[in-house]
A = this chain, B = another copy of it.
Amino acid sequence: MTPLKTFQNLSEPKQKRITQAAVEEFSEKGFTGASINAIVKNLGIAKGSIFQYFGDKQGLFLFVFNQAMEMVKDYLRTVRDQTEDEELFSRLEKTLLAGVHFLREHPRLYTLYLKVLFESQIPFRNKILASLRSYSHEYLYSLLETAKDRGELRENIDLDKTSFVLDAIMDRFLQAQAIQYLDAGLGLYKTDEENARDWIAGIVDIMRIGIGCEK
């Protein structure tokens, strides 16, 4: 997870360049498919350096992945804090919207996550996934708990199942956005902003009726 000191001694811009190049390669080709050759050629640095910084391919991957996930968590934390006083479905809506924006700003990071999700040869994949799921579950669960306390949910609702359903819907929505975005070559996205908002509203509506109490 942690790089050797040799990497931390690098100037910050250089660290960033290396991280970005690695993200790009891993997110496009997965762990086994990624080529350190390609990364160093792209960067114009010596192959040996990567091994000095990170020990081996796995070390590079874990570092890069970890960094990416921290960024996602930061994003979610911000949304949660900034919507503290709002109603549940408004918060869910803004979470989804934030996800779409994150996707647009860091299109590679979501695919990096997808690679981990479905590439079985990735080192520590199980640990990584468990940690992700639990983070995501905690995030939604905390929103739901707050909402329940405020009486925004139907009574007797099972928070675990509900959290699962919401997670499924939202994750799948982002998957669809990501695939659509990547398949379009990372382009012509602007016109889809409105479209995305429309879908989000519709989805949140269904969620509201499904789990919300009637007011």
Contacts and interface: CB of A to CB of B under 8 A. Distances in A.
Interface in A146-177: 154, 158, 161-162, 164-165, 167-169, 171-173, 176
Interface of A: prevailing SS? helix
A111 B120 CA distance: 10
A121 B33 contact: yes
Contacts of A154: 209
Given A30-B33, A165-B206, A167-B172, 18 more contacts: A28-B120, A29-B32, A30-B119, A32-B32, A33-B33, A111-B120, A117-B118, A129-B179, A154-B209, A158-B202, A161-B206, A168-B168, A168-B169, A168-B172, A168-B176, A206-B211, A207-B210, A209-B211
A118 B114 contact: yes
A75 interface: no
A160 to B, nearest CB: 9
Contacts of A121: 29, 33
Given A118-B119, A207-B210, A165 B169 contact: yes
A74 interface: no
A115 interface: yes
Contacts of A202: 158, 161
Contacts of A111: 120
A189 interface: no
14 contacts: A29-B120, A29-B121, A30-B118, A111-B120, A114-B118, A117-B118, A161-B199, A161-B203, A161-B206, A164-B203, A165-B169, A165-B203, A172-B172, A206-B210
A75 to B, nearest CB: 21
A168 B166 CA distance: 10
Contacts of A126: 183
